[in-house]
Chain A
């Protein structure tokens, strides 16, 4: 186990709704990255947070937003949900100076109907 936890494990929402996913980092890690993994595909980088600031962003629209808290835990918020948002959402924690070594949580499986 990596020590990275995510909640909830599963979630069902309807199109147009908003969702908040949560992540607790591994102890000592100051950086959190969020990924979207569609079925049968590799993870797609959404964004990264370091010291409560967004430190990089992938090709995702502004309705995907995030927060990092002083204890390095993090939230991913998605507004105006679309059917294509159905995926596994992964949170990974790391040290900013070792960002290639990321420790992943088990993910949150989101289904949008």
Chain B
């Protein structure tokens, strides 16, 4: 019940396209849902986050869509750029602890 399931495992998108990564959860006690971006050899960096009382949050080219009834949330990257190539993790918070998805390796082809 503490799991966060993330898909796809890997994703290849053409430059300028839309990248979509999906996550699902079971624990209704989760109260905060961040997305992290990780480049090789670096620690994860917070990209964007949402609370469960909001259905959508947009920051620049990055949008989180949140469906509370379906217990799903997704990250959309608009106008994807080669510099967006990285591993993306969704996470969910419960009692100060972050539970992480397994990650999606995103490759943007020029």
Contacts and interface: CB of A to CB of B under 8 A. Distances in A.
Contacts, number: 60
Interface size class of B (residues with CB under 8 A): 20 to 34
A102 interface: yes
Max chain A Cβ within 10 angstroms of own Cβ: one of B44, B45, B91, B103 = B44
Contacts of A20: none
Interface residues of A, number: 26
Interface of B: 6, 32, 34, 36, 41-46, 49, 89, 91, 93, 95-103
A48 B46 contact: no
Given A4-B43, A107-B43, A56 B100 contact: no
A90 interface: yes
Nearest to B49: A100
Interface stretch (A11-19, A38-46, A67-75, A76-84): A38-46
Given A41-B103, A56-B96, A58-B97, A100 B32 contact: yes
Nearest to B31: A100
A40 B10 CA distance: 11
A43 B89 contact: yes
